[in-house]
Structure formats: structure tokens, C-alpha cells
Amino acid sequence: MQLPVLNDTPAHAEHGAKGGCAASSCGTTENQMDTLPDSIREKVQNHPCYSEDAHHYFARMHVAVAPACNIQCHYCNRKYDCANESRPGVVSELLTPDQAVKKTMAVAANIPQMTVLGIAGPGDPLANPERTFETFRRLSQEAPDIKLCVSTNGLALPDAVEELSKHNIDHVTITINCVDPEVGAKIYPWIFWKNKRIKGIKGAKILIEQQQKGLEMLIAKGILVKVNSVMIPGVNDKHLAEVSKAVKSKGAFLHNVMPLISEAEHGTFYGVMGQRGPTPDELQDLQDSCSGDMNMMRHCRQCRADAVGMLGEDRGDEFTLDKIEDMEIDYQAAMEKRAVIHQAIQAEMDSKRLEKAEKAQQLKQEPKLTTRPVLMAVATSGQGVINLHFGHAKEFLIYEASPDGVRFISHRKADQYCGGDTTCGDGESTLQVTIRALAGCEAVLCSKVGYEPWEMLEAAGIAPNGEHAMEPIEEAVMAVYKEMAAAGKLDATPEAARATA
Amino acid sequence: MAVKIIESCVNCFACEPVCPSNAIYEAKPHFLVDPKKCTECEGDFPVFQCASICPIEGAILDSFGLAINPPGSLTGIPPEKMAEAMAELQAH
Ligand code: SF4
Ligand code: SF4
């Protein structure tokens, strides 16, 4: 079945975000699933991390079972979780394989939408082969309805492919930031290889060779491979188009370019040395330029290494170690219940996809608008509808409306850089931080907005809108876009219309 | 002769499996080296295995009490730069 893709030429880059708390999350260009071969599309289309609409219905979780790492990245500080897979400055609760299995089954029994279990850290999963594979082995046996995925820096990958192919592994993510050792030496100060610490170009060269070899071996085994890259301006930004080409030619099915997140307080090399992350514009430009070569994704949420839950929520607190100890899980019964719920979700998704395709068709019939594109933020907790109170949203989905239709752009966390503190930087309130995270958006659609945020949003040039509660997101965004067009608000240049908070 | 793990260890587990002498064990608040078992890797490897994978500068000391990985040697951050950044953060 075809995923309806409204528009794969980006109309414009995001404007207006001023660093700090306001950068977008990862994500890239259009969700070009329609260019994938059927066999892969089938695997991907219900995957909460890869399919834009599935991620409204299904959820994934991570367990932190893999503490050790075998390389150093300049964007990482090993006092915290792996900075690539998680937001920097986050520490996850380390679990033993036994605890991880228990937690996964507890979550699966209580959140039937949870279909994917990932191991991404806090170090490199394949540098902890025993802990990682023990977790996979047991889950493949005891919870066969859960898909497994793993992320790696690739150094130990060639040795792990055989073992990975024995489990219920749905896909592997390799972080590949370069294919040129000279670039690599600016990203990786050292690797641990064959009982030695190897620094500089020599180390980077080995890492790159292992990554590429591992990629080829996985493809040969028929395992899906996604590639993550961290965009580091002035270091690998120009180089990533080449990376994209290289990994695609070897058979990776998705390339996910994420922004470097770099702050001095993270204590990383880049943070301390003042290496900046990309602006939202730079990120989107790069994603767009790579997308000609590659299927890309926009809706990666840069989850924590122990994230649990659906869109816009983290229910990790309900599944802490002491709580799961007390839970009695009858997984056989849970699995039957899950299967029924998954079928219902599938049916709903199928009908929504059909509806969406029809709407897109309809839009083509209507006289085409000539107005400029607009970014809007949406508060949702899933199901593809606007159903979250502005004040309860921990993250927002950013959509772009243009005469060509509505397309998903990215997630923005309300507290992406602020660790969820009530204040940030110069004593900003949570509300101010949230509004700053929405910079560049001209409207925010949610089920309700309180009086105070209403005023502040308006003052920031972001129109609050609670009129489309419980409506499908794309339709509501289009309706608001048409209202704006009818009111003559879209004739001005975007810069003039957009106030940054 | 033995190496020693001190409090800056972040409990990342990396050193434990690479020790040829099984001298490293998980402990609270941080990993420790059993001085009776540590061979300083003599006869197995030309370099200390634990200190070759440990990501934390200063976390492992040699038998003279000196950091095997001194400040700046692993992260590449010049110590004065680090001090500057930390002072800047303190000031806020
Ligand atoms: S120096 Fe060698 S023998 Fe001693 S603790 Fe470290 S790895 Fe083990
Ligand atoms: S490798 Fe270093 S930081 Fe990690 S547990 Fe061993 S001593 Fe601690």
C-alpha cells in the first residue's frame, strides 16, 4: 500500500528560530516512502520511528542496558547517555538484561501501542554484546510480537551481524558522520581497537571501514539499515551529501540527519570549544539537498535512552524498577489483547490513509492558491488528531501548509535544551521557553489554550487556535491555512509576518 | 603493583570486561581494582587495558598515583579551555 505523500518539494526552510531552546528536533525532508521497494515499505509502514502516520498510533521504547562504549565522539560526554541517541545531558536508569526484559513486557502489557523495543545506550550496544544480546535473545522468545532494534557506532558491528540475524531484529541504525578519515579525525578523538587506544586519522579510518563493512554485511543478510548523521557545521556539513550517496548505494533505506546539540555545560569537546550546532535553516537545507539521493525522515524524536510512551508523553515514571518489580505480567494474555488492538489500529490507519489520499486528490481539483507557505505547531497525544491542551504538550509537531498541501516537518520539544527546569537561562518561565521553541510558527493548534499563554502567544506572533479540537491534523492545518489566506494574511513575505519571541 | 580507580569513574563498565586478570569489579560508589589481582597487564598486553578504554581522564591512576590519562589527553579539550568554560558557567 502506498503512503500518501502530498508534496515532496520543500517550499521553504524554517525561519526565525534563534538557537537556544528553539531548534527543531532531528527529522529531514519528505517521508518519501513511496520510493521504497515493497518489501521494505511493508516493514516500515507501521513503524513508529519511520512512518510519519504510524508514529501517531504506535509507540516505541528504549531500555538502557548497554553502558560501555568503545569510541569517543566530540559531541558526547560519557558522564551522560550517548549524545547521538539521546539528548545530551540526560542520564538514564541502567538496567540489567533481566530488568530490561521485565520492564519491556510490563510496558507492552500496559501500553499495547508499544510495538518496538530499542537498545541505544547509554553507551554503544554492541560494545556490550553480552548484555545487549541477552536482552534480545530473551525478548525474541518471550515477547515475539515486539520488534527489536539497535543503534551502534559501527565499530563492533561486523562481529555482531551473525548474532543479530538470529533475533527478531527489525532494523539496525548505524551512526555514520563521515566517510573520510580526515573529517573523522575532527569528530572522533579515539577508538579502542584490538587492545589499544588509537587516536586521530588512524582511528577514524578503522571506524569508517568497520561501519561500511557492517552496513554491507547487514544488507547481505537482509536486515534493514538506517543511517544517522549528526550535522556539525564547518566539520561535516558539506561532507554529508557524500555520506548520503555512499550509504544509499550500499543499501541503507533511510538517512536521518540530526542537528548537533552543543552547550558548554554539557562538557563535551564541541560544547567547550564553542562549536555551534546548525540553525534550523541550515539543517533543513542540508536535509533537502540530501533527499534527492535518499529516503529521509523528519519525525525522529531524539528519544531518551529510556523513553517510554506515545507521542508527546513520557510515561517512564510509571515503569521504574521498584514499580515493575511488583507487577505480575501474564504475557500470553497480554499478547492476545495486543493483537486485537493492533488490528483495530491498523484498520483505523488504513481508512485514515485512504481518506487522506482522497483529500489530497480533492485539493488538486480545487483552484490552486498562490500564497506563501506557513509553519504551524500542533499539540497531539496521538491518533492523528488535535487532542492535547497547550499547557500539557511536552512536544509539538510542526507542519507546513502551502498551496501544495500539508506536510510534516519535525518535532520540537518544549524543553529540548532546558532539561525540563522551570526556568531557563535568564530566568525565563517554562511558558516563555515553550513559546521560543515555537519560533517561526504562525499558529498553534491545540485542544485548549489558557488565558495567559493565549496572550503571550499572540504577542509572539503565533496565533493560538483551539477551534479544531479532535479534528484530524492535516485537515485542521489546511482549514486554518485557508482562513489565513482568505483573510489576506499570506500575501506578505514570511519575514515580515513572523515575529520571533 | 596495581592501578587504581578513583571517584571520578562514571561506572560505564567499559574496563571490566577488558581486564585480562579479572581484577576489576563493580562496587559502590564506583568500580574498583583488586590490587592483589591486578598485574598491570604484564605478560598479556604492552598497555594497561583498563586505561586504554576508560573514557574519563584521571579516573585510573598508576602505581605512583599519577593519572594514566591526564587532563586533555582523551577529550582533546585543553585544560585551560575547560577551566575557562567552567568558570564562565559558575559565574551565571
Ligand atoms: S592494569 Fe590491566 S590487569 Fe590491572 S586492572 Fe587494568 S586491565 Fe586489569
Ligand atoms: S572505564 Fe573508567 S569510567 Fe568506566 S567504569 Fe572503568 S574506570 Fe570507571
What pLDDT, in 10s, does the model give residues A379-420?
988 778 898 899 888 888 888 898 888 888 777 777 544 333
pLDDT of the residue at A314? 67
Give, using CA atoms, the residue closest to atom 1 of ligand 2. Answer: B54
Nearest to A68 among B14, B49, B89 (CB): B14
The domains of chain A are located at 46-324, 370-499
Name chain B contacts of A264, Cβ cutoff 8 Å: 85, 88-89
Those residues with Cβ within 8 angstroms of residue A411's Cβ, 6 or more apart along the chain or in another chain: A24, A25, A26, A27, A299, A300, A301, A395, A396, A397, A398
DSSP A35-92: GS-HHHHHHHTT-TTT-TTGGGT-EEEE---B---SEE-TT--TTSS-TTTS-TT--P
Give the three-state DSSP class for A27.
coil
Ligand 2 contacts CB of residue B5 (under 6 A) = yes
Ligand 1 contacts CB of residue B61 (under 6 A) = no
The tens digit of pLDDT for each residue in A224-245 reads: 898 989 999 999 999 999 999 9
Ligand 2: residue of B12, B25, B28, B50 to mutate (most ligand atoms within 8 A of CB) is B12
The tens digit of pLDDT for each residue in A106-145 reads: 998 888 888 888 887 788 999 999 999 999 999 999 999 8
Residue A25 pLDDT more than 50? no
Give, using CA atoms, the residue closest to atom 4 of ligand 2. Answer: B12
Cis peptide bond prior to A122, omega within 30° of 0:
yes
Percent of chain A with pLDDT over 90: 34
The tens digit of pLDDT for each residue in B21-33 reads: 999 999 999 999 9
Report how far residue A67's alpha carbon sits from residue A126's, in angstroms, rounded to the nearest whole number: 10
- Work out the pLDDT band at A104, boundaries 50, 70, 90: very high
Give the ligand whose atoms come closest to the C-alpha of residue B41.
Answer: 1
More confident residue, A321 or B91: A321
The tens digit of pLDDT for each residue in A198-227 reads: 999 999 999 999 999 999 999 999 898 989
Nearest to B52 among A74, A196, A269 (CB): A196
Those residues with Cβ within 8 angstroms of residue A324's Cβ, 6 or more apart along the chain or in another chain: A99, A102, A103, A106
Ligand 1 contacts CB of residue B5 (under 6 A) = no
Q: What distance in Å separates residue B12's CA from the closest CA in chain A? A: 5
The tens digit of pLDDT for each residue in B18-70 reads: 999 999 999 999 999 999 999 999 999 999 999 999 999 999 999 999 999 99
Class of domain A46-324: alpha beta
Residue A92 pLDDT more than 90? no
Question: Could you give the angle at the alpha carbon of A75 between the alpha carbons of A74 and A78, nearest 5°?
Answer: 90
Question: Per-residue pLDDT averaged across A86-103, rounded?
Answer: 76
Please list the residues that pair with A428 across neighbouring strands.
A424
User: Lowest mean pLDDT: which of A3-17, A317-331, A419-433?
Assistant: A3-17
Residue A162 pLDDT more than 80? yes
Ligand 1: residue of B41, B53, B62, B69 to mutate (most ligand atoms within 8 A of CB) is B41
- Given an 8 Å threshold on Cβ–Cβ distance, is B55 in contact with A78? yes
Task: Tell me which chain A residue has its CA closest to the CA of residue B18.
Answer: A195
CATH 3.30.420.130 for domain A370-499, yes or no, is yes
User: Lowest mean pLDDT: which of A15-24, A88-97, A444-453?
Assistant: A15-24
Average pLDDT, chain A: 79
- Given an 8 Å threshold on Cβ–Cβ distance, is A123 in contact with B14? yes
What order do you get walking across the sheet with A196-199 strand by strand?
A: A71-72, A190-193, A196-199
Tell me whether residue A179 is exposed, middle or buried, using C-beta atoms within 10 angstroms of its C-beta: 0 to 12, 13 to 18, 19 or more.
buried
Residue range B1-92, CATH number: 3.30.70.20
- Given an 8 Å threshold on Cβ–Cβ distance, is B13 in contact with A78? no
Name chain A contacts of B8, Cβ cutoff 8 Å: none
How would you classify residue A198: left for phi > 0, otherwise alpha for psi between -120 and 50, otherwise beta?
A: beta
Name chain A contacts of B75, Cβ cutoff 8 Å: 72, 74, 189, 268-269
Determine the atom of ligand 1 nearest the C-alpha atom of B21.
Answer: 3
Q: How many helices (H) and strands (E) does chain A have?
A: 15, 16
Residue A61 pLDDT more than 50? yes
The tens digit of pLDDT for each residue in A289-324 reads: 776 444 444 444 444 445 666 655 667 778 888 888
Nearest to A195 among B45, B85, B89 (CB): B45
Question: Per-residue pLDDT averaged across A354-368, rounded?
Answer: 79
